[in-house]
C-alpha cells in the first residue's frame, strides 16, 4: 500500500534536480480548504473562457446520499473515469480512498498533446494526482508559453509549496465570501489584454442586473440583448448561444450573464 507521504522523497529529488527551473512560472493557482468550491469555480471558469479553448481535466465528488465516496475525473473533450473511491483497491490510498493511478496516467499524454494555444485546466495538483510520475513530468514539461489554470491542495507537499512560491503573484485563495465571484475575477485577469472579451464580461453584468431581459422556455433560456433575442441552452454539460461571438469564441456575454444568474439568483 502506497500512501501520500511517500511522494515527499521523490519531490525533494525533483525540486533539487537539473530540471527544477522548468516549472511553469505563469501558472494561475486556486487554493482553499477542502470542499470550499475550487472544482465548482473551475467548471464555471471553463464556461466563461469557452470549453473549446480549454483542455485538461476537472474533478467532481461522487456522493451516496450526503456521504462522499469517491472522485470522478472529467477530461475536457475526452470522457470521464472514477479516479478514487472507497471501494477501489488500496494499492495507492489517501484518506480511505483507493486511487486508480493507472487510469489517471492514461490521460496524461493527451493533456500534453492537446494543450495547444488555449488554456490548460488542471483540477487539481494534490496528493492523489502526485502519485503519478507521468503527471509530475507533465508539470516539468510546462513552459511560460503555456496558459495554465490549476487548483492546488491547501496542505502542502514540497512540490506544491514550490509551485505556490514561484507563482505567488498568481495565487488566489478561495473562501465562502469570494467563491462565487472567483471565476469572473480569474476570467478578467486571464483576458486582461483582450478588450473585446472584457467588454463582454462587463455587458454580462449589465444584463444580469436587468432581470426583465430573461425568460425561460422548457430547456432554453431566452435573453433579450441589445441586438436580438438570444437562445442559450446546455449541451453536453456546457452552454451554447445563437450569437455570432459564441460561434467564434465558444462563450459570450449572454452565457456569462446566465452563469451570473445561476450563481447569484440562488440567494
CATH number at residue 172: 3.40.50.300
| pLDDT tens-place string over residues 185-236 | 999 999 999 999 999 999 999 999 999 999 988 789 999 998 899 999 998 8
The domain boundary, picked from 190, 208, 229, lies at 190
Q: Report mean pLDDT in 10-residue bins for the chain, 267 residues.
A: 52 49 70 92 95 92 93 90 95 94 91 78 94 89 84 90 91 94 95 96 95 88 93 90 95 96 60
Q: Are residues 120 and 206 in the same domain?
A: no
Q: Are residues 164 and 91 in the same domain?
A: yes
Helix (H) or strand (E) holding 259: helix 253-264
Q: Are residues 147 and 178 in the same domain?
A: yes
Q: Are residues 180 and 108 in the same domain?
A: yes
Q: Are residues 210 and 162 in the same domain?
A: no
The domain boundary, picked from 190, 212, 228, lies at 190
Helix-, strand-, coil-residue percentages of the chain, each rounded to 5: 45, 30, 30
Measured between alpha carbons, how far is 241 from 233 in angstroms, rounded to an integer? 7
68 phi/psi in degrees, rounded to 5: -80, 120
State which residues form the domain around 30.
2-190
CA dihedral (93, 153, 44, 138) positive or negative: negative
Q: Are residues 165 and 81 in the same domain?
A: yes
Q: Is the pTM of this model over 0.75?
A: yes
- Grid coordinates standing for 206? 449589465
The number of domains in the chain is 2
In this predicted structure, what is the pLDDT of residue 85? 97
Q: What is the DSSP string of 158-206?
A: HHHHHHHHHTGGGEEE--TTTTTTHHHHHHHHHTTT-HHHHHHHHHHHH
The domain boundary, picked from 171, 190, 209, lies at 190
Amino acid at each position: 500500500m502506497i500512501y501520500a507521504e511517500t511522494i515527499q522523497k521523490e519531490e525533494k529529488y525533483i525540486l533539487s534536480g537539473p530540471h527544477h527551473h522548468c516549472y511553469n512560472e505563469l501558472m494561475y493557482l486556486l487554493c482553499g480548504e477542502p470542499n470550499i468550491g475550487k472544482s465548482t469555480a473551475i467548471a464555471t471558469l471553463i464556461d466563461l473562457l469557452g470549453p473549446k479553448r480549454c483542455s485538461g481535466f476537472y474533478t467532481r465528488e461522487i456522493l451516496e446520499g450526503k456521504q462522499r465516496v469517491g472522485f470522478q475525473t472529467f477530461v475536457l473533450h475526452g470522457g470521464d473515469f472514477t479516479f478514487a473511491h472507497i471501494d477501489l483497491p488500496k494499492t495507492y490510498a489517501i484518506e480511505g480512498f483507493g486511487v486508480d493511478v493507472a487510469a489517471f496516467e492514461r490521460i496524461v499524454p493527451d493533456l500534453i498533446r492537446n494543450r495547444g494555444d488555449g488554456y490548460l485546466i488542471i483540477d487539481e495538483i494534490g496528493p492523489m494526482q502526485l502519485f503519478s510520475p507521468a503527471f509530475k513530468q507533465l508539470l516539468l514539461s510546462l513552459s511560460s508559453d503555456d496558459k495554465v489554470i490549476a487548483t492546488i491542495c491547501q496542505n502542502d507537499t514540497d512540490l506544491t509549496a514550490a509551485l505556490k512560491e514561484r507563482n505567488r503573484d498568481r495565487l488566489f485563495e478561495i473562501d465562502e465570501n469570494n467563491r462565487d465571484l472567483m471565476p469572473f475575477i480569474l476570467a478578467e485577469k486571464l483576458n486582461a489584454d483582450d478588450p473585446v472579451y472584457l467588454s463582454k464580461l462587463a455587458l454580462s453584468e449589465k444584463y444580469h442586473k436587468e432581470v426583465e431581459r430573461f425568460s425561460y422556455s422548457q430547456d432554453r433560456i431566452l435573453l433579450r440583448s441589445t441586438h436580438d433575442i438570444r437562445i442559450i441552452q446546455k449541451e453536453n454539460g456546457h452552454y451554447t448561444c445563437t450569437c455570432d461571438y459564441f460561434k467564434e469564441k465558444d462563450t459570450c456575454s449572454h452565457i456569462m450573464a446566465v452563469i451570473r444568474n445561476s450563481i447569484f439568483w440562488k440567494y
